[in-house]
Amino acid sequence: MYYKLICVDIDGTLLDDKKKLQPQVKQSLQNAADMGILIALVSGRMPSGVEKIEKELGIECVKVCNAGTYILMGEACIGAEYLPDFVLREVYREVAEKYQIPLWIFRDKEWFVTGTDDFIRKEIGYVSYQPKLVDALGLADRWDREGKAPSKLLAAAEPERIQNIYRELKELAAGRFDMACSADTFLEIFPNGVSKGKALKTICSRLDINIEQTIAFGDHELDLPMIEAAGVGIAMGNAIPLVKEKADYVTKSNNEAGIAYALEHYLKK
């Protein structure tokens, strides 16, 4: 098989547990790009965080940001989707107010927060972006007047608390928005029907790529639709059990240059 597109999740997949890009992984993707294969960075991260990794890779990539709601090819946006306007208010009350944690609010290239904690301080370092502190209800009112809505919302907390929030939001979410964990401590909330798998299909449609000629790497629930949609879905050795179960192949972990190991196998074959 001649592959034309490689889609790579960032945290827990492309980067190791120290948030570092291992030299073997970088070289393997550069080699693939030299073969004419397009690389897509497909992440829950906001654009500045994805662009930072693109620069470190030294490869011009398609950038799928905000859990698939905002897709960039170069500087051009080729896909943008938004939550219904009422979701911001409801999730703020059910998550931020009830659990007394900041709500993360994303729209295109912007990031807003309703407070600050250690999760946010760490993320600022990872994505090189300073979020704007806002009153969520006031922001919702302003966006109502401007005809705007968020791309994505996010709750960050200890794993047990995240699972409690996940369970409690399920009834509210039904038919109105989708959710998935991108890590044990992150619950992502995004428009109905949006997924990394849908983003992969959007790229293929835009560039006339047969989906069977794609490879996708991931490790967590948010990556599952992409793993299932790709011609070859590859789970990292550190992936959650469900991703491993659905994948075509399980490679080594993100700390063991798993992407490089798998690409050596598939591209050589």
Q: What is the pLDDT of residues 201-232, one digit of tens each?
A: 999 999 999 999 999 999 999 999 999 999 99
The model's pTM is 0.94
Residue type, 11: D
Query: Rounded to an integer, what is the distance from CA 199 to the centroid of its chain?
Result: 10
Residues 60/54, Cβ–Cβ less than 8 Å: yes
The average pLDDT across 231-235 equals 98
Residue 141: per-residue pLDDT:
97
**Structure token pair of residue 154:** 């996010």
Residue 269: per-residue pLDDT:
62
Residue 77: per-residue pLDDT:
96
How far apart CA 126 and CA 108 sit, in angstroms, is 18
- Whether the predicted pLDDT of 21 surpasses 90: yes
Distances (CA, A) of 102 to 111, 167, 177: 12, 19, 20
Q: What is the pLDDT of residues 76-100, one digit of tens each?
A: 999 999 999 899 999 999 999 999 9
For residue 98, count other CB atoms closer than 10 A to its CB: 11
> Where does the pLDDT of residue 268 fall: very low under 50, low under 70, confident under 90, or very high at 90 and above?
confident
Residue 216: per-residue pLDDT:
98
- Whether the predicted pLDDT of 72 surpasses 70: yes
How far apart CA 158 and CA 143 sit, in angstroms, is 30
The average pLDDT across 188-196 equals 96
> Where does the pLDDT of residue 247 fall: very low under 50, low under 70, confident under 90, or very high at 90 and above?
very high
Residue 132: per-residue pLDDT:
98
Residue 1: per-residue pLDDT:
72
- Whether the predicted pLDDT of 242 surpasses 80: yes
Beta bridge partners of 166: none
Residue type, 135: D
* DSSP characters over the chain: ----EEEE-IIIIIS-TTS---HHHHHHHHHHHHTT-EEEEE-SS-HHHHHHHHHHHTS--EEEEGGGTEEEETTEEEEE----THHHHHHIIIIIIHHT-PEEEEETTEEEESS--HHHHHHHHHHT--PEE--HHHHHHHHHHHT---SEEEEE--HHHHHHHHHHHHHHHTTTEEEEEEETTEEEEEETT--HHHHHHHHHHHHT--GGGEEEEE-SGGGHHHHHHSSEEEE-TTS-HHHHHH-SEE---GGGTHHHHHHHHHHH-
Residues 59/5, Cβ–Cβ less than 8 Å: no
Q: What is the pLDDT of residues 164-182, one digit of tens each?
A: 999 999 988 988 999 999 9
> Where does the pLDDT of residue 105 fall: very low under 50, low under 70, confident under 90, or very high at 90 and above?
very high
Q: Quick one: which of 264, 241, 243, 262 has its CA closest to 252?
A: 262
Q: Positive or negative CA dihedral for 120, 57, 35, 254? A: negative
Distances (CA, A) of 110 to 102, 103, 154: 16, 14, 13
